Structure 1
């Protein structure tokens, strides 16, 4: 990942930028511009959100809630730290309301100051600076609370299975795409932090095996940049900022729109209609990534390869709280058919190519000539060949 210079040269110390304020992170991220200071209220910042903030090239992140809540060791703050993005947390809801959206501000030593103040002393809000040492302490304390979180997770998984039993156990409610999936390998591409690198490692597999590619949201654009085309695109009606380009949507054979229980996803479907793309509705409280896995499972895929989705304990807990149960149960549903993309290069060496066969034939021919050459008949043939060659020379 390319790191940009976040600090700006100003007369007063600190980071200067335009404050973009919103309690809802989903609404805030699409409005961010390079150099903005993101002001949000996001307890336990997850890695996916942090990656979007880094991609938006923000100058700093100010959080009304703690970056690490203490319930589990979330991964988002470390992403910002490695990208060189200054962080301040613990402002509180009241101080967040005091920061006007679009105002020029300066962040210095945990204080958010009015950049238009000539004296540079007018404080809009103040919080706690989150640096490497403080983050390490917070994460160490959070790891002690994992047992409680796992117990809570067990109850939420039971409730989710009760709501989604028809979908998960019987495939009721899964749309029938035009793309043939039965008996084929399906590659599900999600928006993980290293999805581009994983696609590069799968390049020969994708070219030689031609699996069905199911892309989630803007991952369809990533697939296109890798020189492939997504056969199926799965959109989340609750994530309008995660919609790929019209080119990726039109190139796909099927577009599936995931809607939550009790919602219709009309806005997303209407936008697809304007592009001339017909959307298939899939009503479930599972995440869009898990809906893509369910779609592959219901279509009777032989193997499902997950790109950009990992299953370590910390990454698993770092997911959206509402998506934990669906992630866990969906992977149980697929069982041994689900393979992580990082394992494929170790399991697949590629097809046998013509030049491989030619090398084997040449090696066999050399071995045959050597074996014949040590026999009396071979020696006689060698002498005759030598005499013939000498007769041809002037």
Structure 2
């Protein structure tokens, strides 16, 4: 009886860039299963910085975008990050590419063409540093139009949420006490890992209430902390984080719909709905402010106008107004880490310890009581040395 020999599946060899295709119209869903060496196929107009950093962290062989990575509306930050990381970016290949490729199919890129086997699937434009720089310059010229739209969205948000912004109407009741305490809000955004690492001394001393905004809860757990509250629509937080025992506040629509509650029901967990039209990081700040926090430290959140626009949705107007609402309570994590470290340096601490030891030694030397303790200690030490010599002699 012949025993069949199992052979490994041979990977086709092509010129250019090759890999297994991983496809998803939502970039943050794709990065959950994207492996090093795969080719990421996305549909992301104006690729933003957070999505680009998540893609770069997965180390794909290339990124193929069905839409324009830089539409020209504003100078978005994502394409520059991908190109700077040395990852090829094939741009504007057309909306139909995702429907024409099955998940995991071996594809390759050659001369701005995406192939499935020997058959061309889509044609795009390979972006490099020069083309990205030129597109960014053109986008900066059209920034004024986006600022006008941003202002209109801001006025619209004021009309819809003036009761929440001005009087705190609609903020839910929670168990976690924040009155008079400091609150750390973590969003899995810009440089969140570095910021959390820099804040370790601050967290150790002040023990703030920790709020994870969606995936920010996983970021806290990854850093070795347990969030007190998880807040968001729960579309990018893991089941393990939701089960960590934190109080869960679900971001709901103004009409009461809360898709995140369905997920909690499936997991057998309870949540508190918070209806609001802003972003999840905004309602986290409003919650902390309403419950009496005396300082709000933000990790990974948006701070500049370009970052607001780079998020790519009208809700960024709420971010602008929320920061006006919380006022002087809000501090960026980078500022806290710099101020905290400046209070006492490592060199100063060593000098203080050395001075204290010298003071103790001088006191023992000159005081009668110190002399008595010194002779007692010396006698005990001599006895210990004599005992050890007896063992080894």
3-state secondary structure, aligned to 2:282 = helix
Structure 2 match to 1:305: 297
The CA distance in 2 between the partners of 1:341 and 1:26, in whole Å, is 24
Correspondence 1:343 to 2:338 = no
Q: Is the 8 A contact 1:99 1:125 kept in 2?
A: no
Correspondence 1:243 to 2:237 = yes
Structure 2 match to 1:255: 248
Pick from 110, 115, 121 the counterpart of residue 124 of structure 1.
Answer: 121
Structure 1 match to 2:372: none
1:190-239: CA deviations, max 9, x gaps? 112311111111111101111111111222222123222111111324xx
Q: CA RMSD in A?
A: 3.0
The CA distance in 2 between the partners of 1:215 and 1:47, in whole Å, is 20
Q: Is the 8 A contact 2:84 2:129 kept in 1?
A: no
The CA distance in 2 between the partners of 1:351 and 1:227, in whole Å, is 25
Structure 2 match to 1:85: 87
Structure 2 match to 1:383: none
1:155-184: CA deviations, max 9, x gaps? 011101211222222212222221101111
1:25-79: CA deviations, max 9, x gaps? 4554445444332223211111122223234443221112211111111011122
Structure 2 match to 1:35: 37
Q: Is the 8 A contact 2:218 2:237 kept in 1?
A: no
Structure 1 residues 56-135: aligned runs within 5 Å: 56-94=58-96, 97-115=99-117, 117=118, 122-135=119-132
Q: Is the 8 A contact 1:171 1:298 kept in 2?
A: yes
Structure 1 match to 2:230: 233
Aligned residues: 353
Q: Is the 8 A contact 1:208 1:351 kept in 2?
A: no
Q: Is the 8 A contact 2:46 2:312 kept in 1?
A: no
The CA distance in 2 between the partners of 1:193 and 1:167, in whole Å, is 27
Structure 2 match to 1:390: none
Structure 1 residues 1-394: aligned runs within 5 Å: 11-25=13-27, 28-30=30-32, 32-94=34-96, 97-115=99-117, 117=118, 122-237=119-234, 240=235, 242-246=236-240, 248-262=241-255, 264-266=257-259, 268-349=260-341, 361=356
The CA distance in 2 between the partners of 1:109 and 1:290, in whole Å, is 44
Q: Is the 8 A contact 1:33 1:57 kept in 2?
A: yes
Q: Tell me: CA distance 1:225–1:15, structure 2 relative to 1, closer, same or farther (3 Å).
A: same
The CA distance in 1 between the partners of 2:216 and 2:28, in whole Å, is 17
3-state secondary structure, aligned to 1:321 = coil
Which shifted more, 304-313 or 97-106?
97-106
3-state secondary structure, aligned to 1:142 = helix
Task: Could you tell me which runs of 5 or more consecutive residues in structure 2 were left unpaired when the two chains were aligned.
Answer: 1-10, 367-393
The CA distance in 2 between the partners of 1:280 and 1:94, in whole Å, is 40
Which shifted more, 327-336 or 217-226?
217-226
Q: Is the 8 A contact 1:215 1:233 kept in 2?
A: yes
Q: Is the 8 A contact 1:310 1:340 kept in 2?
A: no
Q: Tell me: CA distance 1:271–1:148, structure 2 relative to 1, closer, same or farther (3 Å).
A: closer
